[in-house]
A and B are shown apart, each in its own frame.
Chain A
Amino acid sequence: EVQLLESGGGLVQPGGSLRLSCAASGFTFSSSAMSWVRQAPGKGPEWISVISGSGGITYYADSVKGRFTISRDNSKNTLSLQMNSLRAEDTAVYYCAKDVSRGRGTYFDYWGQGTLVTVSS
């Protein structure tokens, strides 16, 4: 059974940093691209970043480029998102999502339960 378990969310002040993690199990982690998708309260999902199965290719949404960094450790089946210079508009539930492809990002067959990030003073 595929499982994705996010952690690391919480309350952070504007300008602060936070690191999210996603522990994956039940599939061959290195064979799947992985994405972070966030959802602000009452809004639709917003894709923010993808990393290829090998970790060699990454892409970011313009809204987070230069502030967020996606990474993965295939030896530990773990996906991470380092978030710096956080803004109020980054407040959302953050999901890790398993891509059906190995490469650039397509669609998602499994999602974690999400972790809430609140940016507020």
Chain B
Amino acid sequence: EIVLTQSPGTLSLSPGERATLSCGASQSVSSNFLAWYQQKPGQAPRLLIYGASYRATGIPDRFSGSGSGTDFTLTISRLEPEDFAVYYCQQYGSSPPLTFGGGTKVEI
């Protein structure tokens, strides 16, 4: 089972700033099959990125994903007020099981 470790646990930033979130895998993620989700309180997760770097339908271009192997990054170029949320990475290169990271909270 691939274990995903996200850092930092919490990121305190202001609107307009750049956010850089990391996701490290315990072993190489096959074919860079890594997704990122955003979750707001009381809501289900929302798909942002798949295949490490492809934005899902309707996702603003301020969100970008990068990385390969065991190290992946989600970048939010300029934080909007609606971007303050918890972000999770998920691997699907070695499944089952599909596994999620523990999350990074982006707060004001």
- Residues of A70-115 at the interface with B, using a CB-CB cut-off of 8 Å, are 95, 100, 104-109, 111-114
Q: Which of B44, B92, B100 contacts A44 (CB 8 A)?
A: B100
Using an 8 Å CB-CB cutoff, how does the interface string of B15-57 with A read, 1 for contact, 0 for none? 0000000000000000001010100000111110010000011
Using an 8 Å CB-CB cutoff, how does the interface string of B47-72 with A read, 1 for contact, 0 for none? 10010000011000000000000000
B98 to A, closest residue via Cβ:
A47
Nearest CB in chain B: distance from A68 CB, A: 13
Interface SS of B by simple majority: loop
Using an 8 Å CB-CB cutoff, how does the interface string of A34-54 with B read, 1 for contact, 0 for none? 010000000111110010000
Using an 8 Å CB-CB cutoff, how does the interface string of B70-101 with A read, 1 for contact, 0 for none? 00000000000000000010101001111111
Q: Which of B44, B88, B96, B101 contacts A61 (CB 8 A)?
A: B96
Complex Cα distance, B91 from A69, in Å, reads 23
Complex Cα distance, B43 from A51, in Å, reads 24
Please judge, given known A-B contacts A45-B45, A108-B47, A109-B47, whether A59 and B96 are in contact too, CB under 8 Å.
Answer: yes
Complex Cα distance, B50 from A95, in Å, reads 19
Please judge, given known A-B contacts A45-B45, A100-B50, A114-B44, whether A105 and B98 are in contact too, CB under 8 Å.
Answer: yes
Q: In the complex the two chains form, is B96's CB within 8 Å of A107's CB?
A: no
Q: In the complex the two chains form, is B45's CB within 8 Å of A111's CB?
A: yes
Q: 17 new A-B pairs (CB below 8 Å) besides A50-B98, A100-B50?
A: A35-B98, A43-B102, A44-B100, A44-B102, A45-B88, A50-B96, A95-B44, A104-B95, A105-B98, A106-B95, A107-B47, A108-B45, A109-B47, A109-B56, A109-B57, A111-B46, A112-B44
Q: 10 nearest interchain CB pairs?
A: A111-B44, A59-B96, A107-B35, A47-B98, A106-B92, A45-B100, A44-B103, A44-B102, A44-B100, A61-B97
